[in-house]
């Protein structure tokens, strides 16, 4: 097996962190290390992380001396990573049990430098939303990504033998992950999509519509700077992005009971 380094930045997320960590502990793929980067949390996130590290030698905790933002935390985790593959997971999202095993095999079969998977949604309480999922294309380039923004951060896996210098921007801006993916596209890399719901994105009440408007404005600015594309194509991509953002690329059919059950993520025990 090739080791997978799972990087989890944490800031004041003790309410959800144990469920996120448990979704990694439950993986059928066992050759992984977890690097939790505690971004100077003021709640008990650091204590929760330390308890897991004490119980499982595959888990390490890095404590940032001051709050630096998710980009800096992910970069700190990458610097400490020992695995061939790096996988990113936000501290309130969840993976299905077979996420790593299926994605590593998918990477090998496609000789992929970068991959992402489909995902579904859950409520703040951890209940799988039975309607709605994000579907992904088998292979995407810059234009397809700009049209769909289908890459979910917590679904991404990178082969460091093929991309040894993956880094995130450290400015405190929305969409820092999108800038990272666009940078890879500019360098000639493609993402391969495994179209199966292997991650749950937690929809939280503090995700205000104002942030969505801010994100849309930032996205438009980024698209306008894509000078390697004609102006009409940039506008076309943004209109597609806006439409997909409104629809959330949500399939109107219900998720199968098997899909819901495989996450085993109800937070009722909290």
Chain segment 3-60, per-residue pLDDT in tens: 999 999 999 999 999 999 999 999 999 999 999 999 999 999 999 999 999 999 999 9
Residue 165: pLDDT over 60: yes
Residue 209: pLDDT over 60: no
User: pTM above 0.95?
Assistant: no
pLDDT of residue 220: 66
pLDDT of residue 90: 97
Print burial letters for 97-110: b (CB count within 10 Å at least 16), e (below 16): bbbbbbbbebbeee
127 confidence band (pLDDT: 50, 70, 90) = confident
232 confidence band (pLDDT: 50, 70, 90) = low
Name the residue with higher pLDDT: 246 or 202: 202
Chain segment 51-93, per-residue pLDDT in tens: 999 999 999 999 999 999 999 999 999 999 999 999 999 999 9
């Amino acid at each position: 097996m090739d080791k997978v380094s799972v990087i989890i930045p944490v800031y004041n997320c003790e309410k959800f962190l144990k469920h996120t960590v448990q979704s990694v502990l439950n993986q059928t793929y066992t050759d992984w290390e977890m690097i939790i980067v505690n971004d100077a949390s003021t709640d008990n996130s650091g204590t929760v992380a330390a308890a897991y590290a004490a119980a499982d030698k595959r888990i390490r905790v890095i404590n940032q001396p001051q709050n630096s933002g998710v980009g800096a935390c992910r970069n700190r985790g990458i610097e400490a990573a020992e695995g061939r593959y790096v996988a990113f997971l936000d501290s309130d999202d969840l993976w299905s049990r077979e996420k790593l095993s299926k994605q590593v095999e998918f990477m090998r079969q496609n000789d992929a430098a970068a991959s992402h998977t489909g995902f579904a949604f859950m409520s703040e309480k951890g209940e799988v939303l039975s309607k709605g999922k994000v579907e992904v294309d088998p292979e995407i380039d810059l234009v397809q990504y700009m049209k769909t923004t289908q890459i979910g951060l917590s679904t991404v896996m990178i082969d460091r033998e093929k991309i040894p210098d993956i880094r995130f921007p450290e400015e405190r801006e929305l969409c820092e992950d999108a800038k990272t993916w666009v940078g890879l596209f500019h360098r000639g890399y493609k993402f391969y999509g495994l179209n199966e719901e292997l991650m749950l994105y937690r929809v939280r009440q503090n995700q205000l519509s104002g942030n969505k408007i801010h994100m849309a404005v930032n996205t438009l600015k980024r698209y306008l700077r894509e000078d390697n594309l004609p102006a009409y194509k940039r506008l076309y991509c943004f209109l597609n992005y806006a439409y997909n953002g409104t629809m959330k690329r949500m399939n109107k059919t219900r998720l199968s009971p098997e899909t819901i059950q495989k996450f085993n993520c109800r937070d009722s025990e909290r």
